[in-house]
Amino acid sequence: MRALDRSLPRHAQRSSWMRWGGMAAGVLIAFAAGWLGNAQWSATRAGAQLAKAPDLSSLGYTLVGGRLLPGETGARAQFMFEDAAGERVTLYIGTLDDRTAGTAALRETAFRFASEGPVPSFYWVDQGFGYAVAGKLPRDVLLKLATLTYRDLS
């Protein structure tokens, strides 16, 4: 009988710890679920923001990736598009320096073609942002992509 009496307090004590441990585990699981749910919601929201990227599908190009980049005068973004043949084109967007963005020439510019380097591009400035569409493509194809990008982002 005495052995039974001595084991009851231990059993009751163990039962109490099991209850507290179960409650602590429940709180931890609820916290983890909330944290993961918030992270998933944030990732979904960021993906939705990425949908500000232009839709170039009418010309056969789909978005394959994008990155936010640091810049001397502000944020930069780079998007990569690819067609069915695997030909890639890049859209680069950057904020302009406040000191130079105020000049009339840099607030808005018409498309300009650059072919000095190995990859030709069309670039322009609009509403405080600089844009460049670049790819190893014929000039007329790049112009169509730049025009579609401009229309989609304006």
pLDDT 10s digits, 62-99: 999 999 998 887 889 999 999 999 999 999 999 887 65
Burial of 150 (0-12, 13-18, 19+ CB in 10 A): middle
Q: Count other Cβ atoms within 10 Å, centred on residue 138.
A: 10
**CB-CB contact of 66 with 53 (8 Å):** yes
Residue 135: is its pLDDT beyond 70? yes
Q: Which of 20-24, 58-62, 107-111, 130-134 is predicted least confidently?
A: 20-24
User: CA 103 to CA 96: how far, in whole Å?
Assistant: 11
pLDDT of residue 8: 54
pLDDT of residue 27: 40
Assigned superfamily of 52-153: TM1622-like (3.40.1000.20)
pLDDT of residue 16: 59
pLDDT of residue 43: 40
Nearest to 80 by CA among 58, 59, 56, 104: 56
CA–CA distance from 20 to each of 4, 30, 83 (Å)? 24, 15, 58
User: CA 118 to CA 44: how far, in whole Å?
Assistant: 37
Residue 134: is its pLDDT beyond 90? yes
pLDDT of residue 28: 41
pLDDT of residue 9: 62
The secondary structure of the chain in percent helix, strand, coil, rounded to multiples of 5, reads 50, 25, 25
Q: Which of 24-28, 143-147, 148-152 is predicted least confidently?
A: 24-28
Reported confidence tier of residue 151, pLDDT bands at 50, 70, 90:
very high
Mean pLDDT of the chain: 76
CA–CA distance from 37 to each of 19, 34, 78 (Å)? 27, 5, 28
The pLDDT tens digits of the residues spanning 14-63 come to 665 555 555 444 444 444 444 444 444 334 333 334 447 999 999 999 99
User: CA 2 to CA 152: how far, in whole Å?
Assistant: 84
CA–CA distance from 28 to each of 16, 22, 32, 35, 96 (Å)? 18, 10, 6, 10, 46
